[in-house]
Structure 1
Amino acid sequence: MMRPLLLLLLGLAVLPLGCTASPTTQSPAVVAAPTSDPKLSVGTFALSTEREPVVDGDTIRVDGLDRTLRLLGIDTEETFRDPGKRQLCDGDWREYLAVVYAGSTPDRPPKFATPMGEAAKEFAREFFDGLKTVHLQYDDPRRTVGYFGRHLVHVLAKKQDKWVNYNVEIVRMGYSPYFKKYGRCRRYHDAFMAAEKQARTARRGIWAESPRHACYPDYEKRLVWWAERDRDIAKITALRAKDDNLFVLGEDAEWERLKKQAGKRVTVASSVGGWRK
């Protein structure tokens, strides 16, 4: 039997516990039927039955693939895995923030566990409750695998006879901003923008004046950071189309293309984490 896979999504916000998402035709999360384009369709996969299918707001398990997956456009706050930090958070939120922000800079805020992260996990459980399968789709046929070898996907689910993009829906419900740190989505950019606008207008989840669940206090700074990276990636992508000597390592075929340039002077766009020969 194939081992269940871990899908890492990207998202966050809050919905009163006990409520479930009810997508309507007005929701930007409602999408057309899954594409049959083999360059974009990963396929339909069963949610894990051997283990809890929902790990957190942006992480679910499915069976039947050779890689884990990263869900695009969202990035939920973390859930607690350290009992000590959970106790500190529950006892003194300000002191907890001082601990988790230690060593970081204001313009590069860290990720950490919060009550909002727990609420996002509960939302995911409600969303996928009763579903047996989900359909996975790539966003860009040139970028199907991420830096850590994970499929870069959208998760589509059939709910109330409509196809719903979970990635967009969790943004619409206020559990995550539209996450563009690694570049915007090509296929669902407008849907993500509309979903975030709806959430902010309705003051859902992380956008509430007084969120029901404690959450990151600096989303505006995070959005500025992500927007800067998104603009840089867009510029690099545009330059790449005009310059064969520019290599963008986020694209699947670039490593093989780059190998052919051994001994030549080229420009490489990527995040450098180390060197190897």
Structure 2
Amino acid sequence: MMKLSARNAAAGLVAVLVVAAIVSFAGLASSPHDVDPVPTTVPTGAERAEVVRVIDGDTITVRLEGAGEGAQVVRLVGVDTPETVDPNRPVGCFGADASTFTHTELDGHTVYLEVDQVQGDTDKYGRLLRYVWIPGTDAAAPAELFNATLLEDGYGVAYRGDQDRKQAFDALEREAKDSRRGLWSACPAA
């Protein structure tokens, strides 16, 4: 009787392993952390622009190439940095840091703007909604998706609305939070 139980246990274990392997190979056992990585090349069709002013950590003013002298306000898609310019709200914890970082990285630089297919072209304030790409310095250097950099370095939180890169941006926020980078170490309520 003892041998029968051991045999049944071994058969059960083999069955569990076979089912686990099938599920794994079928892609049904993917982890919630398995997300598409953030690309490292400027997408085809992105618009070239010069950053003429940084308003705060997640809002800039640009001059689109070929659009004359007019400037457009751009709200970075997928990231929300603490407030610094809203007259109805106090400056948020780490807001000045996020704003300074964006100034340092983008002021006067050439960037490429990518439309988010889910968010649409503009928000309710008429600002362009865009991913902001910093081109690589040469063919071997990867481009940087600045929206993702803000999240990765803890300068903001992932925007809670839908967007093309929501899963990747949520993962970057989670990683920054777990590593206590940026606002995740500086702000008590973060």
TM-score range, shorter chain: 0.5 to 0.7
One-letter identity of the residue aligned with 1:56: D
Could you say which residue in structure 2 is the equivalent of 1:169? 149
Could you say which residue in structure 2 is the equivalent of 1:185? 163
Query: 1:201 deviation in Å?
Result: 1.6
Compare relative contact order (CA 8 Å, sep 6+) and give the higher one, 1 or 2: 1
Q: Map 1:60-99 onto structure 2 (within 5 A).
A: 60-64=60-64, 67-79=72-84
Query: 1:81 deviation in Å?
Result: 7.9
Could you say which residue in structure 2 is the equivalent of 1:56? 56
Tell me the SS of whatever aligns to 1:47: strand
User: How far apart are the structure 1 equivalents of 2:117 and 2:86?
Assistant: 34
**C-alpha RMSD over aligned residues:** 2.7
| 8 Å CA contact 2:118, 2:162 repeated in 1 | no
- The reply on whether 1:47 has 2:51 as its aligned counterpart is yes
Identity of aligned residues (%): 29
User: How far apart are the structure 1 equivalents of 2:40 and 2:49?
Assistant: 18
Q: What is the TM-score with the length of structure 1 in the denominator?
A: 0.46
* Closer/same/farther in 2, CA of residues 150 and 60 from structure 1, 3 Å limit: closer
Could you say which residue in structure 1 is the equivalent of 2:105? 127
| 8 Å CA contact 2:59, 2:73 repeated in 1 | no
| 8 Å CA contact 1:155, 1:167 repeated in 2 | yes
Ranges of 4+ aligned residues in structure 1 off by more than 4 Å:
none
One-letter identity of the residue aligned with 2:131: H
Structure 2, gaps ≥5 residues long: 1-36
Q: Larger radius of gyration, structure 1 or 2?
A: 2
* Closer/same/farther in 2, CA of residues 153 and 81 from structure 1, 3 Å limit: closer
- Which structure: greater strand fraction? 2
User: How far apart are the structure 2 equivalents of 1:68 and 1:59?
Assistant: 7
* Closer/same/farther in 2, CA of residues 44 and 202 from structure 1, 3 Å limit: same
User: How far apart are the structure 2 equivalents of 1:73 and 1:112?
Assistant: 22
Q: What is the TM-score with the length of structure 2 in the denominator?
A: 0.65
User: How far apart are the structure 1 equivalents of 2:44 and 2:163?
Assistant: 19
| 8 Å CA contact 1:77, 1:112 repeated in 2 | no
- Spell out, residue by residue over 1:54-102, the C-alpha distance to the aligned partner (whole angstroms, 9 max, x if none): 22211222113564222111111122687xxxxxxxxxxxxxxxxx8xx
One-letter identity of the residue aligned with 1:61: T
- Spell out, residue by residue over 1:12-60, the C-alpha distance to the aligned partner (whole angstroms, 9 max, x if none): xxxxxxxxxxxxxxxx55x2322224xxx3x101122xxxx32221122
Could you say which residue in structure 1 is the equivalent of 2:20? none
